[in-house]
Structure 1
Amino acid sequence: MPETLTVAIVGCGIGRAHITEGYLADPERYRVIAVCDLDRARLDAFAEEFGIPRKTTTFDDLLAMDDVDIIDICTPPSVHYAQILAALAAGKHVICEKPLVGSLKEVDEVIAAERNAKGKLMPIFQYRYGDGVQKAKKIIESGVAGMPYVGTAETFWQRLPEYYAVPWRGKWATELGGVLMTHAIHIHDMLMWLMGRPAGLFGRVATRVHAIEVEDCVSASLELESGALASMTATLGSREELSRLHLAFENVTFESSHFPYALGNDPWRIVPRNDKVKAEIDALLADWTPVPPRFAGQMRDFHRALTQGTPLPVTTADARGALELVAAFYHSARTRQDVRFPIGPGHPLYEGWIPAPPQPRSA
């Protein structure tokens, strides 16, 4: 029987999906013993529903619990940075929802803190999990797919006005960005995970769907280090919701399922160049073991990393790559210029991309 790790969840919003998909489905590996939320009524209902013995409205209470192995951060983006650093300093392992933090400077500071910490930090990118995307990853890593040529990443989602009735959404100070940070960040991470790191980006952002501060429509042309090209488009105003990756490699073309919130799941279309490539793929996948989707798969692999010493399924370096792409998008849109990677301390948006508030006109 695997070692059971104890978890404290902070934030009862997306925290619900973490517990229903990731922890309750795997009771031999995880036991949730504490929960924290500022909304007392929501906290009480959450703790009662899932039989969680401890509840608090104070984050520091979780840090003081010696029998908590993992702090799972499911709070609004603007507070992630401080909570991650505090949890690592308390000797805890940390899981944190996307976006990990709000700037490249902050993520570099988190990476440095993790390097000296007792605990490990895993950012959440649950869309990497499911049979479809995992099969594609295996085929690509085996070399069967060959050279990457081009790809497209589409996030056509719908968010209605009531979505933005939640006070922290749609605002620079609390959400730290719009569709780039909160929604399309998933598929953009998948694109890089499957096709490789970016070398250059030319992008545009716009606010066209809602009366909010942040962007809700984006599009960009991406050059990858391999020389492959990709396009990325996202909106929160689509009347038909879908997520789609379409990737053309030398020997295989991959097209994801179109399920907007289960993008990694089968069925994926895997189209080989010829019968020889098909036979190689069939042999590669002949003994395929199903991969749990979304949080179930990522939490399973996190447990393996902590107890068996396997690599972390998602790293802070992965989170940095996602934020680097966001910084490049904003900088390109504001300057109307191509942005080159990597982005380091000398870049204008290294310390953040939140625009300065407009200055009042002098009389």
Structure 2
Amino acid sequence: MSRILNVAVVGCGIGRSHIVEGYLPNADRFKVVALCDLNQERLDEVGAEFGVERRITDFADLLSMDDIDIIDVCTPPGAHLSMVVDSLRAGKNVVCEKPLVGSLKDVDAVIAAERQASGKLMPVFQYRFGDGIEQAKAIIDAGIAGKPYVGTVETFWRREAPYYAVPWRGKWKTELGGVLMGHAIHPHDIFTYLMGDIARVFGRVATRVNPIEVEDCISASIEMQSGALASFTATLGSVDEITRIRLQFEHVTIESDHAPYNPGNALWKILPRNDEVKSRIDALLADWQHVPSRFQTQMARFYDALVHDAPLPVTSQDSRRALELVTAFYHSSSTHQEVVLPLGPDHPLYESWVPAAFR
């Protein structure tokens, strides 16, 4: 019989989605035994919905509970650093929503704490999972796609006044950024997951849609370490909502499904250059096994990493790569200069990209 791991979910907003999509479909692997939230009404509502009796308002109380194997941090981004580090130091395994933390300095501190910890840390990038994206990844990893040429990422979403009625949203101190941090970070992660590391960024950010502190429009020209070129564009002012990732390789054109919040689920458009390439792809995918999308597969693979010593499906280094791009974006936009990656402690925004007036 498989061991069931006990989970405490901290933050009952997106934390509810973790329960519905991640833990309940994997009920033979996980059991949510505790909830933590500052809002007692929401805490009681979610607790009653899922039959969780242990309802905590003080996060520190969770750290001393010996029966909790995993602390799942789903709080506003500004609270992530202390909760993740304290959980690791308490010997817990940790899941943390994006963005993991709010600077390269902080992510390096988390990585250092992780090295000293007995538990494992998995940041959340749930958009990586599903049949569409995993078939694309398999084709690329098998060498069938060939040399990467160019790519585009379009994150055209819609956020209006009701979204920003939540007090912590749209503010530098608590959200740590706008469309670049809270929205486009997912498609950008998918792009680097498939296309590799970024070498250079020339980016722009602007606030054009909503009366908020942080940006809601971005655009950038990207050079990959492979030499491939790319462009990223995102806005929160779109009328409809799509996430579109299009990749051009030597032998294959790959385009994502356009579903804004689950681009990895449906099969992607795969256009082989000729019949030989098509035959290789058909052979590779002939015995394909269905991969559930989003949290269901990410949590299942986290279980395998904890219990069966499989690789983590998302790592703190993946989060660092995402935050390095964010840092480069903000620096390039403010200086009107190209930024060369990777970025280390000598970079001007290493300690924080948040403008000094808002820290």
Deviation, 1:160, is 1.2
Q: Secondary structure at the match of 1:24?
A: helix
What does 1:142-291 align with in structure 2 at a 5 Å threshold? 142-291=142-291
Alignment correspondent of 1:4: 4
C-alpha distance in structure 2 between counterparts of 1:24 and 1:298, whole Å: 13
Q: Secondary structure at the match of 2:25?
A: coil
Partner of residue 59, structure 2: 59
Match of 1:82 in 2: 82
Deviation, 1:178, is 0.4
C-alpha distance in 1, partners of 2:307/2:330?
Answer: 39
Cα deviation for residue 53 of structure 1 reads: 2.1
Residue identity matched to 1:313: P
AA matched with 2:126: Q
Paired with 1:4 and 1:282, the residues of 2 have a C-alpha distance of: 38
Per-residue CA deviation, residues 83-110 of structure 1 (Å, 9 max, x unaligned), is 0000000000000000000000000010
The SS at the match of 2:354 is coil
Aligned counterparts of 1:3 and 1:296: Cα–Cα separation in 2: 18
Shift of 1:81: 0.2
TM superposition shift of 1:132: 0.2
Residues in 2 aligned to 1:2 and 1:111: alpha-carbon distance in whole angstroms = 30
Which digits, 9 at most, give the CA deviation of each residue in 1:298-356, with x for residues without a partner? 00100001111111000000000000000000000000000000000000000010101
Gaps of 5+ in 2: none
CA offset digits 1:191-249 (Å, max 9, x no partner)? 00000100000000000000000000000000000000010000000001000100001
Letter in 2 for 1:188: H
Superposed displacement of residue 267, structure 1: 2.5
Tell me by how many angstroms 1:357 deviates. 1.3
Could you list the runs of 4 or more consecutive aligned residues of structure 1 that deviate by over 6 angstroms after TM superposition? Answer: none
**One-letter amino acid of the counterpart of residue 267, structure 2:** P
Offset at 1:25?
Answer: 1.0
Percent of aligned pairs sharing the same letter: 64
Q: Give the match for residue 72 of structure 1.
A: 72
Match of 1:322 in 2: 322
Other structure's SS at 2:331 match: helix
The amino acid across from 1:270 in the alignment is I
C-alpha distance after superposition, 1:235-293 (max 9, x if no partner): 00000100010000111110000000111111210001100000000100111111110
Task: Work out the CA distance in 2 between the residues paired with 1:83 and 1:56.
Answer: 15
Gaps of 5+ in 1: 359-363
Alignment of 1:8-157 (within 5 A): 8-157=8-157
| 1:72 counterpart letter in structure 2 | D
Secondary structure of the corresponding residue to residue 317 of structure 1: helix
- Could you tell me which amino acid in structure 1 is paired with residue 274 of structure 2? N
| Matched residue, 1:299 | 299
- Helix, strand or coil at the partner of 1:25: helix
Give me the TM-score of the superposition, normalised by structure 2. 0.99
SS state of the match for residue 213, structure 1?
coil
Residue type of the alignment partner of 1:218: I
Residue 68 of structure 1 aligns to a residue whose secondary structure is coil
| Amino acid corresponding to residue 10 of structure 1 in structure 2 | V
Work out the CA distance in 1 between the residues paired with 2:61 and 2:48. Answer: 19
CA displacement at 1:80 relative to structure 2: 0.1
Distance 1:79 1:128 in 2: 24
Q: Which amino acid aligns with 2:352?
A: G
Q: Distance in 2 between matches of 1:266 and 1:274?
A: 24
Q: Which residue of 2 aligns with 1:361?
A: none
How far did 1:2 drift? 2.5
3-state SS of 2:312 partner = coil
For the residues of structure 2 that align with 1:53 and 1:165, how far apart are their CA atoms? 30
Secondary structure of 1:149's aligned partner: strand
